[in-house]
Amino acid sequence: MAARYTLKVLTEFASAHTLREYPGACARMHGHNWKVETEVDAGALDDVGMGVDFKVIKDAARRIGERLDHRYLNEVEPFTEVNPTAENIAAYFYRELAAELNNDRIHVRSVTLWETDRACVRYTEDH
């Protein structure tokens, strides 16, 4: 059986959004202190004995979060067209992280976006 290591880091950012066509209070501008939980799979270890340095994952997630931090998401691409739901934000993070981190040894497994301490969405794609 092949070894697999799953590494997880947690980052955060704050932003506001308005859910288009939503039949409730979230159709008005409101904000969240989002938490982004990133899971990366490693099928092998490097020469140091790591799948990937936690710092590499954290730095990538923070760079993506900085694009959204203290912003009104409806004015930030791709959310000028794509409804800035938690689901779509999680997919955005996943794809941006995968483009930056995936290689022959590691790949992004999932992104879990926490809207509140009690509500989150997990996004993943088949490989």
Catalytic center residues: 26, 70, 115
Is 32 known to sit in a ligand binding site?
Answer: yes
Among residues 59, 61, 66, 62, the alpha carbon closest in space to that of 15 is found at: 66
Virtual torsion, Cα 71, 79, 16, 85, nearest 10 deg: -150
Among residues 97, 90, 98, 94, the alpha carbon closest in space to that of 115 is found at: 90
Is 17 known to sit in a ligand binding site?
Answer: yes
Stated length of the chain = 127
Is 107 known to sit in a ligand binding site?
Answer: no
Q: Name the binding residues.
A: 17, 30, 32
Q: Name the binding residues for Zn(2+).
A: 17, 30, 32
